[in-house]
Amino acid sequence: MESGTVDPPWLRPATPEDGQFLRAVYAATRADELALVPWSDEQKRTFTDMQFDAQDADYRRNYPDAQYSIIEMQGEPAGRLYVDRSEKEIRIIDIALLPEHRRTGIGTKLLRELQDEARMAAKVLTIHVEKFNPALRLYHRLGFQQIEDEGVYLLLEWK
């Protein structure tokens, strides 16, 4: 589906009541790699819950003023978008969609909206991406350029 034909996503602030949903989004981002591990579903859930808690604490410690949002499509939660805005930069801390909402144009639309915001504010737009994340192709297609290689992660920038 082209990004111009997707129903517009709606962002709302994440609340404590979204905890289970946010854990499910995080678990979905790790599903492919955990499929290779001989753990039970319960062990995988325990692991992803622990990893989510660590990631969430790290994000909130390093980006206390960020906007932590739930992406909704047609009134249903579809993913998360975390964005930090500073004087010269808009940092996409995290963007993740449940598998059934990937490759529908939602992510492209949200990223283009952030590009428009950055352009209007004369700021750079940045994101860290794992080197093997399939979304890396999307970021390159939208004009993001690699500015740092940080081992597992690449720092991308759009001007």
Q: Give the domain ranges of the chain.
A: 3-158
pLDDT in tens, 79-120: 999 999 999 999 999 999 999 999 999 999 999 999 999 999
70, 143, 117, 13 alpha-carbon torsion, rounded to 10° = 10
- Answer yes or no: are the C-beta atoms of 154 and 121 closer than 8 Å: no
Model-level pTM?
0.91
Name the more confident of 120 and 33. 120
Query: Residue 5, CB half-sphere, CA atoms under 13 Å: how many?
Result: 4
Q: Which CATH architecture has domain 3-158?
A: 3-Layer(aba) Sandwich (3.40)
Q: Is 34 helix (H, G, I), strand (E, B) or coil?
A: helix
DSSP-assigned beta bridge partners for residue 127: 92, 156
pLDDT in tens, 3-15: 444 456 799 999 9
